[in-house]
Amino acid sequence: MQLLLRCWLLLLARATDDECAEESCAMSALQRRAAQLSFDASDALEEAFAVATLSTGPPSFALCGGKSYDKSQENCCGGEIYSLTSQGCCGNSSVYTFAKQGCCNDEQVFTYGVENCVPHKLKPDWVNPNVTFECAEDWPPANYGNYWLRYCAAGQHMAWAMTPSCKVGWLSVKQDNLEDAEKQALDACQAKATAYNGETCYVFDRDGGGCRRQRCGTEMYDASVCLGSAL
Ligand SMILES: *[C@@H]1O[C@H](CO)[C@@H](O)[C@H](O)[C@H]1NC(C)=O
Ligand SMILES: *[C@@H]1O[C@H](CO)[C@@H](O)[C@H](O)[C@H]1NC(C)=O
């Protein structure tokens, strides 16, 4: 700092030599220049401060498919950069746009209104260990969709009994306890099944344990998040 000031003094002394022979005159010229200098410096600081506060925190960059992206705004999905606010990453591999697409079972991108998503990961809370129902994977089948919806809305205690082929079924709702509901559903189911094809009935659902899974026409949906689409 000392050196800098001396240099200024020297420069000023030289520049003002002609009109400013006295030392006091040179000093006041120096003071004017110093005031000018500090004004410029604060201007530059102001600008630097503005630039620093414009960006929200230090930007953090990462690489995605060989390209760099800002981690506060974007993310990487299967080697593709996507926007955190308007897009998602499906199955860690495909980018989809919230406004018009969904991610089906965290596996596959589908377009609303064009493709359906069958929520096969909506496993029922309870599954009968004694029997495999043929229609369980695609439950409820189209011809049971409305019954299933009404069964689910009816209220506990309730049970749905069915044959393994899913050809004969019977339900019981609004019972005092689960045992009564199961017995009534099983007895009525068995009477129908014996007359129809001799199959045995088993309990398929207990107290609506599988009711998140619903069908509306050809579309499957999760009733716990979009009940409105059924009404
Ligand atoms: C996606 O990646 C995360 C973290 O590596 C992992 O926990 C998750 O199971 C993955 N999901 C799929 C659908 O592969
Ligand atoms: C499964 O079979 C066992 C043995 O017959 C029986 O005790 C049990 O109640 C059955 N479970 C159901 C849910 O039907």
65 and 26 belong to one structural domain? no
116 found inside a domain: no
Residue 105 pLDDT: 82
Task: Residue 219: count other Cβ atoms within 10 Å of its Cβ.
Answer: 13
Show the domain range for 77. Answer: 61-111
User: How many separate domains does the chain show?
Assistant: 3
Token pair, residue 128, equals 């009968």
Residue 220 pLDDT: 77
128 found inside a domain: no
Q: Identify which of 90, 92, 93, 121 to mutate to test ligand 1's pocket (most ligand atoms within 8 A of the CB).
A: 92
Q: What does the pLDDT look like over 114-147, one tens digit per residue?
A: 887 776 667 888 999 999 999 998 899 988 999 9
- Ligand 1 within 6 A of 92 CB? yes
117 found inside a domain: no
151 and 212 belong to one structural domain? yes
What does pTM read for this prediction? 0.52
Residue 62: name the closest of 41, 82, 37, 40 by CA.
82
183 and 211 belong to one structural domain? yes
165 and 188 belong to one structural domain? yes
CA distance 51 to 154: 62
66 and 49 belong to one structural domain? no
Token pair, residue 143, equals 């011809």
99 and 72 belong to one structural domain? yes
52 and 72 belong to one structural domain? no
Residue 101 pLDDT: 94
131 found inside a domain: no
202 and 221 belong to one structural domain? yes
Residue 34: C-alpha distances to residues 2, 9, 86, 167, 184 (Å): 14, 10, 53, 97, 99
Residue 127 pLDDT: 93
What is the whole-number distance in angstroms between the Cα of residue 227 and the centre of ligand 2?
A: 33
153 found inside a domain: yes
Residue 116 pLDDT: 77
186 found inside a domain: yes
185 found inside a domain: yes
What is the whole-number distance in angstroms between the Cα of residue 92 and the centre of ligand 1?
A: 6
Residue 124: C-alpha distances to residues 18, 116, 141, 155, 164 (Å): 98, 20, 15, 17, 17
What is the whole-number distance in angstroms between the Cα of residue 130 and the centre of ligand 2?
A: 6
Residue 123 pLDDT: 80
- Ligand 2 within 6 A of 203 CB? yes
Query: How big, in percent rounded to 5, are the helix, strand and coil portions of the chain?
Result: 35, 25, 40
- Ligand 2 within 6 A of 128 CB? yes
Residue 77 pLDDT: 96
Query: Minimum-distance ligand to the CA of 127?
Result: 2
What is the whole-number distance in angstroms between the Cα of residue 120 and the centre of ligand 2?
A: 26
192 found inside a domain: yes
31 and 91 belong to one structural domain? no
201 and 155 belong to one structural domain? yes
- Ligand 2 within 6 A of 127 CB? no
CA distance 168 to 34: 98
Blockwise average pLDDT, block size 10, the chain, 231 residues: 36 41 55 51 49 56 94 94 94 94 89 80 86 92 91 94 96 96 97 97 96 83 57 37
Instruction: Identify whether the C-beta of residue 143 lies closer than 8 Å to the C-beta of residue 214.
Output: no
143 and 222 belong to one structural domain? yes
Query: Minimum-distance ligand to the CA of 204?
Result: 2
